[in-house]
Structure 1
Amino acid sequence: MSEHLTVVDHPLVQHKLTLMRDKGTSTAGFRRLLREITQLLAYEITREMPLTTTTIDTPMEEMEAPILAGKKLALVSILRAGNGMLDGVLELIPSARVGFVGLYRDEETLQPVQYYFKAPEGLKDRLVIAVDPMLATGNSSAAAIDLLKEAGANNIRFLCLLAAPEGVARMKEAHPDVPIVTASLDRELNEKGYIMPGLGDAGDRMFGTK
């Protein structure tokens, strides 16, 4: 993928995103929609995965058929909200290896603080997809990508539901080699670092917490 930012404008993606933005949508509905929309976004972000061929027998004859090449993809959730996107991708790619990056945002400085990191081995040989519903300031996302690169990853893509212009700019500055795929580039961040018009706190809406 060459473009730094891809906004997936597929009608189903946009329709489901509107339902997710609506504050009247229930926790269960929000969770289901996030899984569905993530599958559609994952379809886009995996478009250029390398293929090789294998010999199989169809009911009719033997053939050389395309199959994914190389090591299994690594899917990395940026905790905690990223976990809501894991299921959507894993339904498409059940063999993916899964890792976790735990970062929380210091409310005073808005800077990320690391509290957990666990990644699959052999990252340098894998396509790594980092998932987090919201690309807001971009600080946590950039810090998570730093950790993945330190662990050997060199082919990374970032999958999010919503992005703010500030977060996209921050990621482009910190990691110009990491393409971003999202369902929407929203207007701006407010003074508290929330995406506007956004959909509120994705973690709280997904897990029913406040």
Structure 2
Amino acid sequence: MHLHGLCYYRSKSDTWTDKWRSVDFAARNLVKAIKHEDFKGYAQITAGSSSIRIDNTAHGRNRALVAVAGALADKINQAGYQNAAVVPIPSSSHIDPNATFTGRRIAEAIQAKNAAFVSTPILYFNEPLPKSAGGGGTRNAHVIQKHLRLSDCQLPGSIVLLDDVCTTGGHLKAAARFLAQHGIQVNDAFVIGRTVWEQPGHMFNVTTEHIPTNELFD
């Protein structure tokens, strides 16, 4: 499965020896805005020929969502899709198929940008995922796959996966393998942020990478 990202993501708890740069904060704040998490300062993001200021307000978060949706819609199109069902990865506590979560908000914004990329929130969990050491849901792909469930839905066109941040790839691997068990092949996944452990050349120039989904889980 190919992974396409908009920016690299630097965690506050990373082990980088490099000092934080303004572009590091900009990428991090963009992700925070989409996730509706508080952050200080603002992010100045270039989208096409426009420069967008994103801050920790409802208006700023909406600007971030619109900018991200447009960029992701372009990425999906550049990957060769004329139409696709955009399947968001559910949050760790998402057990209600009809509830809203971060991935669903992004998918719906992508559909608003390009109606050919249909928001398709068909994945949810049968119970909240166990907590990881960092306080979030587990990143163990085997555990994630075990708890995934699939809503009844007519799937339009091809399938692509969508997530806010990819760190280990556990959620994306689990979702791809789970869908494959139901006869649904996924070749591409799209994320806003890709966590990195060493400073990349540019935080907003993300290299497409391959995430193996057919290997045995640890």
The answer as to whether partners of 1:77 and 1:83 remain within 8 angstroms in 2 is: yes
The answer as to whether partners of 1:97 and 1:120 remain within 8 angstroms in 2 is: no
Identity %: 15
CA distance, structure 2, for counterparts of residue 101 and residue 16 of structure 1: 30
Q: 1:26 aligns with which of 53, 56, 64?
A: 56
What is the letter of the counterpart of residue 179 of structure 2? L
CA distance, structure 1, for counterparts of residue 103 and residue 74 of structure 2: 17
The answer as to whether partners of 1:75 and 1:86 remain within 8 angstroms in 2 is: yes
CA distance, structure 2, for counterparts of residue 8 and residue 152 of structure 1: 29
Matched, 1:118 2:128: no
Matched, 1:128 2:159: yes
CA distance, structure 1, for counterparts of residue 62 and residue 110 of structure 2: 14
Determine the structure 2 residue equivalent to 1:199: none
CA distance, structure 1, for counterparts of residue 122 and residue 26 of structure 2: 26
Determine the structure 1 residue equivalent to 2:108: 87
Matched, 1:106 2:130: yes
What is the letter of the counterpart of residue 154 of structure 2? E
Q: How does 1:1-210 map to 2 (within 5 A)?
A: 4-8=2-6, 17=27, 19-20=29-30, 23-24=39-40, 25-26=55-56, 28=58, 29-49=60-80, 68=82, 72-79=83-90, 80-95=101-116, 96=118, 98-103=120-125, 105-108=129-132, 110-111=139-140, 112-113=143-144, 114-118=147-151, 120-121=153-154, 126-165=157-196, 172-174=211-213
Q: For 1:99-150, what per-residue CA distance to the aligned partner results, in whole angstroms no more than 9, with x for missing partners?
A: 3212454225643442542264357xx3212111011222122111112222
TM-score by length of 1: 0.54
What is the letter of the counterpart of residue 106 of structure 1? P
What is the letter of the counterpart of residue 182 of structure 2? A
The structure that has the greater radius of gyration is 1
- Greater relative CO, 1 or 2 (CA 8 Å, sep 6+): 2
Q: Structure 2 regions of 5+ residues with no counterpart?
A: 8-23, 33-38, 41-54, 91-100, 133-137, 198-206
CA distance, structure 1, for counterparts of residue 112 and residue 150 of structure 2: 24
CA distance, structure 1, for counterparts of residue 5 and residue 119 of structure 2: 26
Q: Structure 1 pair 165/131, CA: closer, same or farther in 2 (3 Å)?
A: same
CA distance, structure 2, for counterparts of residue 6 and residue 110 of structure 1: 19
Q: Structure 1 pair 137/31, CA: closer, same or farther in 2 (3 Å)?
A: farther
Q: Structure 1 pair 140/36, CA: closer, same or farther in 2 (3 Å)?
A: same
Between stretches 134-143 and 111-120, larger displacement belongs to 111-120
CA distance, structure 1, for counterparts of residue 196 and residue 160 of structure 2: 21
Task: Detail structure 1 runs of 4+ shifted over 3 Å in the superposition.
Answer: 3-9, 14-19, 119-123
Q: Which has the higher strand share?
A: 1
1:152 deviation in Å? 2.2
What is the letter of the counterpart of residue 100 of structure 1? I
The answer as to whether partners of 2:165 and 2:193 remain within 8 angstroms in 1 is: yes
Q: Structure 1 regions of 5+ residues with no counterpart?
A: 51-67, 177-210
TM-score by length of 2: 0.52
The answer as to whether partners of 1:35 and 1:84 remain within 8 angstroms in 2 is: no
Q: For 1:4-51, what per-residue CA distance to the aligned partner results, in whole angstroms no more than 9, with x for missing partners?
A: 444557xxxx9974652571232522344033212212202222436x
The 3-state SS of whatever aligns with 2:211 is helix
